[in-house]
Structure 1
């Protein structure tokens, strides 16, 4: 009888030990799986929020065939850089003059919006290497025969994009007494509309943007001076964000070397 009791206790103990071992193994397996899932979810999953003003063709604009989708030269170029560097992007629609404040406050991580590199802006953000040349051009209505250069702007009204280098150039000319009033507008299409309806006489805007508009809308405006300034566009990050800046510059260099940049240029220009 005593031996039977000992045998029974031994069996119960072995079952208990086996159960504990199975439970521990299962827990360890579950923990390992959870850790693996968590780890896998972080590989190449960094998402950067990009601020853009999508009314600036051919650099960034809404796709007429897909509502809310932003397309353009800048978009394709940044997507190529993101793929090269292994991160993802999320696009945020903002007014142009709200982009730098949004970057400084942490609402966005990168500005991709046909932004000209200037000394004033470099005090507020860090720019990548230039990715395209983009000087300013003087444009008027296609039937305007009075304005042929900056010398003909005395008393004339300018329509410019708020916060742009074109607006800064207009303000400079006004301070020098070379032009009349300035109308500030949010988007390029609004500028052209004001020239068409006679509220404004001319605009000063980025050369490639003006050329792209003329290509898509022939006979509306014409360029009378395409060498007002010689500038370049850059992507912007928050001052001091050297890690992100290095990634963007490296990605830009890589897509130029592998031919992707040229393919994107051919697509839009």
Structure 2
């Protein structure tokens, strides 16, 4: 065998090695892309305790919705990644394809259902009003006529408050901001979802505020997906049914609300 032949063999082997390495790199990159694509991006307004809130110590998002969406992802065999954003930006982000789904204590309404698909209801709520502890004049929603009301922008609470005669509505990006405005005396009442109001009262120890009157509405929360993504919506409904059947949903409910879910 001549030196020229040996050189050609060595060169051929070198080129083959490069080719195989390139293929391996492409396959690894492709695998990484597929893995990333399988992670579901979940939009949520993470300032709505006890449904979603950021833990001050761990910086992780916790709450009823957060536990539920993780359990749903596990049941579907797909990891989830929560992205925090303002409530009024959730549906636009879903429509734009920036996220795959929304779980954010979002009430199922006909108006929203025109833009997105909703899962089966996973929580029953309603609107209530919060006033300062020393306020003994506001006892029902009827008493809010002409009063100053704090609400969270884009919510059903904001929609209903705007229907109250001569009321002066102040909209805030988050529920905590609305409660702070009440504490500061900038508004007479806060209109928001009952479980959120109850959580705020519990955290405040009942010193600063109180819930008055009967709930104004009865509302169902749903998980929103894009209109074109019916497959994901079907998977969510199937997984939700399975979590209710295997008892996992009840465990999460009891953890955050201290009682069993209504039948």
Q: What interval of TM-score do these two structures reach, taking the shorter chain for normalisation?
A: 0.7 to 0.9
Whole-angstrom distance in 2 between the partners of 1:256 and 1:39: 36
Please state whether the residue corresponding to 2:128 is helix, strand or coil: strand
Counterparts in 2 of 1:139 and 1:27: CA distance versus 1, 3 Å: same
Mapping for residues 9-20 of structure 1, pairs under 5 Å: none
Aligned to 2:260: none
The TM-score with structure 1 as length reference comes to 0.83
Is the contact between residue 59 and residue 114 of structure 1 (CA under 8 Å) also seen in structure 2? yes
Residues matched between the structures, number:
254
Aligned to 2:43: 51
Mapping for residues 11-30 of structure 1, pairs under 5 Å: none
Aligned to 2:240: 252
Whole-angstrom distance in 2 between the partners of 1:251 and 1:55: 26
Which structure has the larger Rg over C-alpha atoms? Answer: 1
Structure 1, unmatched stretches of 5+, are 1-7
The TM-score with structure 2 as length reference comes to 0.85
Q: Verify: 1:82 aligned to 2:69, yes or no.
A: no
Offset of residue 230 of structure 1: 0.3
Deviations 1:37-69 (A, max 9, x none): 6786547960111111110001000102113x2
Aligned to 1:207: 194
Structure 2, unmatched stretches of 5+, are 258-263
Runs of 4+ in 1 over 2 A off after TM superposition: 25-45
Please state whether the residue corresponding to 1:145 is helix, strand or coil: coil
CA RMSD of aligned residues (A): 2.6
Aligned to 2:97: 106
Whole-angstrom distance in 1 between the partners of 2:68 and 2:36: 19
Aligned to 2:180: 193
Offset of residue 225 of structure 1: 2.2
Counterparts in 2 of 1:247 and 1:44: CA distance versus 1, 3 Å: farther
Offset of residue 192 of structure 1: 1.1
Is the contact between residue 45 and residue 87 of structure 1 (CA under 8 Å) also seen in structure 2? no
Aligned to 2:261: none
Please state whether the residue corresponding to 2:171 is helix, strand or coil: strand
Is the contact between residue 60 and residue 73 of structure 1 (CA under 8 Å) also seen in structure 2? yes
Whole-angstrom distance in 2 between the partners of 1:55 and 1:29: 50
| More displaced 10-residue stretch of structure 1: 157-166 or 90-99 | 90-99
| More displaced 10-residue stretch of structure 1: 89-98 or 32-41 | 32-41
Counterparts in 2 of 1:256 and 1:32: CA distance versus 1, 3 Å: farther
Q: Verify: 1:65 aligned to 2:57, yes or no.
A: yes
Whole-angstrom distance in 1 between the partners of 2:184 and 2:35: 54
Aligned to 1:166: 157
Whole-angstrom distance in 2 between the partners of 1:186 and 1:27: 55
Please state whether the residue corresponding to 2:195 is helix, strand or coil: helix
